[in-house]
Chain A
Amino acid sequence: MSLELVDLRIAPRDTSRPLFRPLSVSVTGGEVVTIMGPSGIGKSTLLDAIGGHIGPGFAVSGRVRLDGRDLVGLPAERRRIGVLFQDAMLFPHLSVGQNLAFGLPPGLRGRTARRAAVEAALHQAGLAGFNDRDPATLSGGERTRVALMRSLLADPRALLLDEPFSKLDADLRDDIRGFVFDHVRRRKIPVLMVTHDAEDAAAAGGPVVRL
Chain B
Amino acid sequence: MKVEGRALRGIVLLLVFGGIVLPILAGFWQTARAAFGVMPALGDRTASLAPWYTLFALPGFATSLRLTLVTGFGATALALILATGFCAAVHGRIGPQAAARMLSPYLATPHAAMAIGLSFLIAPSGWVVRLLSPWLTSWRVPPEAITVGDRWGLALILGLLVKEVPFLLLVILSALGQIPVRRHLAQGRALGYGRGIVWIKVIMPQVYPLIRLPIYVVLAFTLSVVDVSIILGPSNPPTLSVAVLRWFSSPDVNRMMPAAAAALLQAGIVLAGIALWWAGERTVIRLGHWWIGRGGRGLSAEPGLWMASALVAGLMALGALALVVLLIWSWAWRWSFPEALPQSWSARNWIDPSGSWYRALAATVEIGLATTGISLALAVAWLEGEQRVGGGRLRWATGLIYLPLLVPQIGFLYGLNVVFLEAGLGGSMAAVIWAQTLFVFPYVMITLSDPWRALDRRLVAAAASLGATPLGRLVRVKLPILMRPILTTAAVGFAVSVAQYLPTLFMGAGRIATLTTEAVTLSSGSDRRIVGVYAILQSALPFAAYGAAILLPSILQHNRRALTGGFS
Contact = CB atoms under 8 A, between A and B. Distances in A.
B464 A77 contact: yes
Contacts of B477: 91
A36 to B, nearest CB: 21
Interface string B524-568: 000000000000000000000000000000000101111100101
A154 B466 contact: yes
Interface in A38-55: 48, 51-53, 55
| Interface band, chain A | 20 to 34
Contact of A93 (B458, B461, B468, B560): B560
Nearest to A74: B1
A93 B480 contact: yes
B285 interface: no
A137 B466 contact: no
Contacts of B465: 51, 53, 76-77, 79, 81-83, 151, 154, 156
Given A56-B2, A102-B476, A154-B467, A92 B462 contact: no
B453 to A, nearest CB: 13
Given A51-B461, A53-B461, A77 B467 contact: yes
Nearest to B464: A76
B233 to A, nearest CB: 48
B333 to A, nearest CB: 50
Contact of B563 (A78, A92, A105): A92
Given A93-B560, A134-B561, A154-B467, A76 B481 contact: no
Contacts of B476: 102
A89 B462 contact: yes
A77 B469 contact: yes
Given A56-B389, A91-B481, A93-B483, A80 B562 contact: no
Interface in B485-513: none
A48 B466 contact: no
A102 B468 contact: yes
Contacts of A52: 464
A103 B466 contact: yes
Interface in B268-296: none
B466 A92 contact: no
A85 to B, nearest CB: 5
Nearest to A93: B480
Nearest to B482: A93
Interface string B1-44: 11000000000000000000000000000000000000000000
Interface of B: 1-2, 389-391, 456-459, 461-470, 472, 476-477, 480-481, 483, 557, 559-563, 566, 568
Interface of A: 48, 51-53, 55-57, 75-83, 85, 87, 89, 91-93, 102-103, 105, 134-137, 147, 150-151, 154, 156
22 contacts: A48-B461, A51-B461, A56-B2, A56-B391, A75-B470, A77-B465, A77-B469, A77-B470, A85-B462, A87-B568, A89-B458, A89-B461, A92-B562, A92-B563, A93-B480, A102-B476, A134-B559, A136-B560, A136-B562, A150-B466, A151-B465, A154-B466
